[in-house]
A and B are shown apart, each in its own frame.
Chain A
C-alpha cells in the first residue's frame, strides 16, 4: 500500500515465526527498492529456508511465499485505531452496505475497521475486464476489538473474547481470505480464514496447553467448525506445499 504499511506488514510476517531456526526464512521476506512491494522469493532459497521448520511454520510460510510470488495484485494496509486509512480503502469502507447511518458516520481511521470488521477486512480487486486480479486487505494493529469465539477445549463451550494480534489478523485476512479466494478455494469465506487464525496461534502461543482456538461462531456465516477441521490447513496450502517440496526434491534441492 505504502511504505508505512509495507514496513509494518514485513514486521508482522517476520514476527510470525518466533523460533531461532526461522532466521533464514525471515531474511527472505524483504521490501523491494520502491519501498512498497515485497521482493519475489527465490524458490530454491525458500525450499532451503523451510527445512527444519515445523509443519505449521512451513504452511504459514508457504502461504506468504505464494502471495508474494503471485502474479495477482495483493495490497495490504496496516493502521492503528487512530490513524487515517488511504483513499483507496475509503472508497470501499465508506460504502459497505448496511453500516453507516446519520448517527454512526465513518471516521476514516482504523476505528472504522474495528467497527465494521472487528479489526480486519478483505475484499476483491477487479480489473478493467471485470476479472478478479487481486485482493485488498486492511487490518488494525493495537486493535481494541475483541473476537468472541475462542474456545478453551476441543469441545466448544463458553467462548473467550480475545483481541487478535496483528500477526493473527494478517494470516486470517491476507492468506485465509485473500489467497483462499484467489485460489478458488470453496471454503475461503469462512473455514480457511479460521484455519489460518488457528495456524498462527499454534505457532505463536508459547504454552501449548494455553492455545485457544477459534471455532468461527463469531465470523462470517457464524457456522461452528469442529476442532479438527478448525485446526486443519486449507487445501491450497497443504497441496501447494506438497507439490513445492516434491518439485524441489526432483530438482535435487
Chain B
C-alpha cells in the first residue's frame, strides 16, 4: 500500500512538472509573467498581463483529469499586485534569473517566468534574497486567503469553473491570454 502511494505521488509530481512546463512555454507574448506555486497536490497559476492579473487553481491527478478548478481575477488588491509585480521587476532588472529549461520545474514549488530577449527567464527560490522570500510568503498566504471556503455564504472572489480535464484547462488559460491582447 505504501509503495502504491509513493508511486502515485511520483506520477502526480511528474504530471505537475509536465503541466507547469506546458503552461510556461505556451504563454503568449501578451503575458508579462507567469508564476506557479505547487503545494500538496494543489497548483496555483498566476498570469499577469498588462492590464490584469488572474489566478487559476486546480488539483492535478496522475492522468489528464483535473479537479476543483477555480479562478480569481485580482482587481483592486494592490497589496497583492504590488508584491508580485515587485518580485518580477526585481528578478528581471537585477538579473536574478536563469534561462528557463524543463529542469527548472523539478522539485521547485515556486517559479516565476517571463519573456526575455526571445527566450524565457525563470526566477525561483534558490535565487531569492530574504526580502524576496518574504514576498513569496506573502503571495502564497494571500493566494490561500482567496481560496477560503466559508461554512455558508459566498466565497470571497473565487469562481468555480466546470473544467475537468487538462487540455480544456490549458485551452482556458491560453484563451484568456488571447482575449487580453
Contacts and interface: CB of A to CB of B under 8 A. Distances in A.
Interface of A: 92, 95-99, 116-124, 126, 129-132, 139, 145-149, 164, 169, 172-173, 177, 181-182, 184, 186-190, 193, 218-223, 243
B59 A184 contact: yes
Interface in B137-151: 137, 140-142, 144-151
B151 A172 contact: yes
A98 B70 CA distance: 16
5 contacts: A118-B153, A132-B40, A184-B42, A189-B149, A220-B160
B10 to A, nearest CB: 14
Interface of B: 1, 37, 39-42, 59, 61, 67-68, 70, 77, 80, 109-110, 125, 136-137, 140-142, 144-157, 160
Contact of A97 (B109, B145, B150, B152): B145
Nearest to A162: B152
B151 A126 contact: no
Nearest to A147: B152
B57 to A, nearest CB: 9
B145 A186 contact: no
A119 B149 CA distance: 11
Nearest to B159: A221
Contacts, number: 112
A219 B152 contact: yes
A129 B107 CA distance: 12
Q: Please name the 5 residue pairs, one residue from A and one from B, whose CB atoms are nearest each other, closest first.
A: A118-B152, A221-B160, A186-B67, A147-B152, A120-B151
Given A97-B145, A130-B109, A120 B150 contact: yes
Contacts of A184: 40-42, 59
A219 B151 contact: yes
Contacts of A189: 68, 70, 147, 149
Contacts of A98: 156-157
A219 B125 CA distance: 36
A116 B152 CA distance: 9
A173 B37 CA distance: 24
A123 B136 contact: no
